[in-house]
Amino acid sequence: MTRITFITGDAVLSATLDDTPWADDFASLLPMEVTLGDYHGIERVSDLPRKLRTEKPPARYAARAGDIATHAPWGNLAIFVKPFGATPGLVRLGAFDGDFGALLKSGRVPVRIEIAR
């Protein structure tokens, strides 16, 4: 498992990536800067520099608030702020270790994601 941080403004939010090939591929992109936007009040999303390798993803995954995931068909980053039903092509990468409220601001939120020191 890899520990990462999301930095936005003065907030430093910790998260842990799962021990999976998809999470490892995500970690290989770090550090990176993204801008998160709201998607229907359920998730914060951003494009990634490239699609993650998602060969043989789980058939379906039901996201929980605080999950960090990718949508295999689109290749974007998704941070779930509310639970969401089982969805084909959704691949969990990890989850926040605690509060991630700093990412819930209205509008677009610039974030730096890096491996925790």
Contact residues for 24 (Cβ-Cβ < 8 A; gap 6+): 2, 17
Q: pLDDT (tens digit, 9 = 90+) per residue, 75-101?
A: 999 999 999 999 898 999 999 999 999
pLDDT value of residue 117: 85
Identify whether the C-beta of residue 50 lies closer than 8 Å to the C-beta of residue 63.
Answer: no
pLDDT value of residue 53: 83
Q: pLDDT (tens digit, 9 = 90+) per residue, 50-81?
A: 999 877 777 789 999 999 999 988 899 999 99
Q: Which CATH number fits domain 2-115: 3.50.50.60, 1.20.1090.10, 2.40.100.20, 3.40.50.920?
A: 2.40.100.20
* Beta strand segments in 65-115, E: 67-71, 76-80, 84-87, 90-96, 109-115
Task: Name the phi and psi angles at 75, rounded to 5.
Answer: 80, 20
Residue type, 15: A
Residue extents of the structural domains in the chain: 2-115
Q: How confident is the model at residue 106 (pLDDT cuts 50, 70, 90)?
A: confident
